[in-house]
Amino acid sequence: MTIISLTPLDLSIAAVLVIALSLLSLHTKLGLSRQIIIAGLRTTVQLLLIGLVLKSLFAYIHLGWIIFIAFFMLTVASREVMSRQKRRFAGWWGFGIGTVSMSVSSFSITVLALTVIINIKPWYEPQYAIPLLGMILGNTMSGISIGLDRLTQTAYEQRTIIEARLTLGQEWNEAIENIRRESTRSGMIPIINSMTVAGLVSLPGMMTGQILAGNPPMEAVKYQILIMFLIAGGTGFGTMAAVWLGARRLFDERQRLRLDRLK
């Protein structure tokens, strides 16, 4: 199968859609015109840069560079988690909760996939390691950000209910149990929806990319199933950990609700 290379003109035609969307947003006064253009520019620049970086990594395989790229991706993802919170934790906790949760879940699952499931030599082969980590980390980031935002916002709105439960003698985990459960559920809904409609409503990105690149459809399907399961594990475990850590941070050692720890 012939691989069709895209020219700058092809990409420019596609970019017209983003420009048209921005103009429509301006006309309808949605307030998103500037954000759409900036997002489009960032997408272009960031993907071109990562393309150059991956080209160099594929030519010169070294564990140190893989670790550097992985931690850079984790840092950016953690910052995005913190910035998306309407009421985020103050200080390093706002950054640390997302970082710890994503690193434990995403890194461990990626290493498991590379060493046990795919079993490539060396296990840090960038052709597999970087795309796998990127997909797992990106989806885990979304789940954690949704879960933490729901947790802090709901805790603030229901602070009187939580304090009443504490007054009645409940432990901190009992007083916030319902909120924590619903927050975790909210963070996991997107990946559950994606798994439910995969192959019926949507053809996931990795599968589509492999098919367009000329790989056999069934081989692309097998890899996509693997990716969906890995993403589900990373998102689920990461969201559970982040919401639990966030809920614990809302209370002090005397089990008092401490909303002053939020910005």
Burial label for 4, CB within 10 Å (0-12, 13-18, 19+), is: exposed
DSSP H stretches of helix in 104-216: 108-112, 126-157, 159-167, 172-175, 177-197, 205-212
- Closest to 238 in 3D by CA, of 112, 131, 143, 148: 143
Burial label for 42, CB within 10 Å (0-12, 13-18, 19+), is: exposed
Place of tokens 């997909």: 135
Q: Evaluate whether 246 touches 97 at the Cβ level (below 8 Å).
A: yes
Residue 257 phi/psi, 5-degree rounding, is -70, 125
pLDDT for 1: 53
Place of tokens 């691989």: 3
Distance CA 43, CA 22 (A): 15
pLDDT for 140: 92
Distance CA 84, CA 146 (A): 8
What six digits make up the tokens of 183?
């927050």
Distance CA 8, CA 28 (A): 30
Distance CA 116, CA 81 (A): 30
- Closest to 98 in 3D by CA, of 109, 116, 114, 82: 82
Dihedral over alpha carbons 127, 131, 136, 138 (to 10 degrees): 160
Q: Evaluate whether 183 touches 243 at the Cβ level (below 8 Å).
A: yes
Whether omega before 122 lies within 30 degrees of 0, making that bond cis, reads: yes
> Could you tell me the sign of the dihedral formed by the alpha carbons of 172, 174, 178, 182, in that order?
positive
What six digits make up the tokens of 63?
């564990």
Residue 86 phi/psi, 5-degree rounding, is -70, -40
pLDDT for 37: 93
Give me the average pLDDT of each 10-residue run along the chain (263 residues).
Answer: 74 92 89 90 90 82 86 88 81 85 89 89 86 90 92 93 92 93 93 84 72 77 88 92 93 89 83
pLDDT for 3: 63
Sequence-ordered list of residues with C-beta below 8 angstroms from that of 89, at least 6 positions apart, any chain: 97, 152, 246, 249, 261, 262, 263
pLDDT for 161: 93
Domain limits, the chain? 1-60, 61-261
